[in-house]
Amino acid sequence: MDKGLIYCLEDDPVFLNPQKTASQTTYDVTSGILFDTLIEYDPKSSTFLPSLATSWSVTDTKNYTFNLRKNVRFHKTEFFFPSRPLLAIDVQYTFERIINTSHPLHHVNTNHFYGLSQHTINNIASITVDSAHQVTFRLKEADNTFMAQLSSPAGSIQSLEYANYLATIDEATKIDFSPIGTGPYALQSYIPNHVIRYTKHMDYWREKQNFGQLIFNITPNNRHRLSKVTYGDCSISTMPQFNDLTKINQHKHLQIKSKMGNNTAYLAFNIHAPPLNQKEIRRAIAIAINKPDILSHIYSYTAEKATTLLPKKSWGHVEPLVQFPFDQAQAKVLVKKLTTDNIELNLSVSRNARHYNPNALKMAQLIQAELQKIGIQLHIKSYNWSHLVSKLHQHDFDLALLGWSADYDDPDNFYSSILSCNGRFNYSQWCHPTFENLLSQARRSNTRAERRYIYQQVEKIIFNEVPLVPIAHGSRIFIFEDKLKNFSFLPNGVPNFQRVKIETRGQRS
């Protein structure tokens, strides 16, 4: 009997629809597994490849027409049996639910959608079905990030027929927890905080998978995950504690695979909370943070020091000529110059480990000790992730340790999401007209060289205004059994199970 591939997951996904959350765990259990996108990004050639769309054309820099692959079947499950293959109306439905606030399913399971930038959502003028297998997106203005966003998890194509079925039986909320896609695996069952079971999609349009089942064993405890992969209860585990890496290397049947993440851990300021409304106070905090100490104690040197908001692996990254120095003497002078009052601030953090920040509480304690030396008293407030997000949306914080993992390879994904005036994750509430204009220019630019130059100007504004402090770029670290072959990553950094197999004795990969 096929026992399947078992993956020890570090946290429960928020939804099983990657359009409804920015959760990395949701991306890990859905991207390239439950769903396909119209196109895929190839990082080696920096081009887009066919997926559910076999070809496409762009006219007037604003009209994108996609020709769909024929006879692509949706999942057949115990809870839904589709009557037809993928059509253009499914693509139209997928994106109309996101961009149209009047859509009957827009507000189901919260009205928040992620992945597509707010600018892109506002910029789509129409989505028209030209024929059964052709669909056209019309934009209000040119946007050279549009294709990258369609290739991201936000572009996961869903079933209109399934959505209509759930609406007729008055169970629309199931759409984001019991989804139907076209990907290589279909949902069999999901017990929150325990296990997710997928079965092989027998009608998948691509090469069939090597496993009949893909099982995600939800195991938040680091030690328990390590124990399970060590004793064979899981074939893959993630996010080991760094002080366990030496021990793991002693197990000859285990391998470690790491990939520098396209992510940034950063300190966010609520710039409307005095005295953080003064940028010189924010600058004092920035230069009082000992980043090398953080790289040592939090990441065990598996991360890179952040010199800009963009990770070094981003094609838009340019090393800045001027960086925040580590200068506590100058920081202390700045604080005394600006105020004679005792400064007490709350620093909000998540209790949940993230690839960009494996231990936010410990990082907060390091920052707390450094800021005390310059006359700033920090009170650390730790929350589970959902509670922290609620606090952030209510602007109920002074400082917060946050992070961003890009879901597509474009610098705009960082800048627009975190710092643009209408950015969904702009918890700092910072809004800068020149910064906004530069982002708009970059989206209209046709060359990477020109965009890279624009992003240099963007980073100068971030340096001068200090709406946040970039700290580090973390690695994604996985442990897996030696007999597991062909384990790799998709371009957005999530695990790629498409060619994974278990090698038995006498076999060679």
Q: Which residues contact 317 (CB under 8 A, 6 or more apart)?
A: 308, 310, 311, 411
C-alpha distances (whole Å) from 493 to each of 116, 130, 152, 262, 410 are 18, 34, 11, 7, 14
The phi and psi torsions of 437 (rounded to 5 degrees) equal -65, -40
Vertex 262, ends 390 and 353: CA angle to 5°?
45
**CATH number, span 263-473:** 3.10.105.10
The pair of structure tokens assigned to 325 is 């120095």
- The separation between the first and the last C-alpha atoms of the chain, rounded to the nearest angstrom, is 22
What are 367-387's pLDDT values in tens digits? 999 999 999 999 999 999 889
The CATH 3.10.105.10 portion of the chain extends over: 263-473
CB-count exposure of residue 195 (10 Å: 0-12, 13-18, 19+): middle
- Would you list the DSSP string of 159-182? -HHHHHHHHHTT-GGGGGTS---S
pLDDT, residue 1, reads 46
> Which pLDDT belongs to residue 20?
92
CB contact set of 133 (below 8 Å; sequence gap of 6+):
67, 68, 69, 70, 87, 88
CA distance 360 to 337: 30
CA 168 distance to own-chain centroid: 33
- The pLDDT tens digits along the chain (509 residues) read 467 999 999 999 989 999 998 888 999 999 999 999 999 998 888 899 999 999 999 999 999 999 999 999 999 999 999 999 999 999 999 999 999 999 999 999 988 888 888 999 999 999 999 999 999 999 999 999 999 999 999 999 999 999 999 999 999 999 999 999 999 999 999 999 999 999 999 999 999 899 999 999 999 998 999 999 999 999 999 988 888 888 898 999 999 998 888 999 999 999 999 999 999 999 999 999 999 999 999 999 899 999 999 999 899 999 998 889 999 999 999 999 988 788 999 999 999 889 999 999 999 999 999 999 999 999 999 999 889 999 999 999 999 999 999 988 899 999 999 999 999 899 999 999 999 999 999 999 989 999 999 999 999 999 999 999 999 999 999 999 999 999 888 888 888 888 899 887 555 44
* CA distances for 212 relative to 1, 186, 189, angstroms: 9, 11, 14
pLDDT score for 505: 56
215, 53 Cβ separation under 8 angstroms: no
- Which three-class secondary structure string do you get for 222-272? HHHHHHHHHCCCCCEEECCCHHHHHHHHCCCCEEEEEEECCEEEEEEECCC
Distances (CA, A) of 44 to 48, 87, 316, 491, 499: 10, 30, 15, 10, 18
Q: Is the dihedral of CA 168, 188, 194, 264 positive or negative?
A: negative
Whether residue 183 contacts residue 61, with contact meaning beta carbons closer than 8 Å, is answered with: no
Return the structure tokens found at 436.
């906004």
The whole-angstrom separation of Cα 367 and Cα 268 is: 13
From-to residues of CATH 3.90.76.10 in the chain:
39-181
Residue 441's H or E segment, with its range, is helix 433-444
Which tokens hold the place of 227? Answer: 């124990």
> What is the DSSP secondary-structure string of 338-377?
H-SSPEEEEEEEESS--SS-S-HHHHHHHHHHHHHTTTEE
| C-alpha–C-alpha distance, residues 431 and 216, integer Å | 40
Q: Which two tokens stand for residue 53?
A: 């769309």
CA 292, distance to chain mean position in Å, is 25
Residue type, 118: Q
| CATH T-level topology, domain 1-16+29-34+183-260+476-509 | D-Maltodextrin-Binding Protein; domain 2 (3.40.190)
Tokens at residue 346, please? 């709350």
Placement of tokens 């997710």 in the chain = 196
Percent of the chain with pLDDT over 90: 81
Identify the pLDDT of residue 139: 98
Positive or negative torsion for Cα 27, 30, 35, 36: positive
> What's the CA gap between 376 and 285, in Å, rounded?
9
Let me know: does 414 contact 263? Beta carbons within 8 Å.
no
If we measure between CA atoms, which residue out of 79, 76, 293, 338 comes closest to residue 186?
Answer: 76
pLDDT at 205: 97
The answer to whether 51 touches 177, Cβ cutoff 8 Å, is: no
Tell me, what's the pLDDT at 509? 40
CATH 3.40.190.10 placement within the chain: 1-16+29-34+183-260+476-509
Give the count of alpha carbons within 13 A of 181, CB side only. 32
CATH 3.90.76.10 applies to domain 39-181: yes
For 183-205, write each residue's pLDDT tens digit. 999 999 999 999 999 999 999 99
126: left (phi over 0), alpha (psi -120 to 50) or beta: beta
pLDDT tens track for 335-359: 999 887 889 999 999 998 899 999 9
**Beta carbons within 8 Å of 279's beta carbon, 6+ residues apart:** 464, 465, 466
Q: Average pLDDT, whole number, for the chain?
A: 94
Give the angle subtended at the CA of 290 by the CAs of 289 and 291, to the nearest 5°. 100
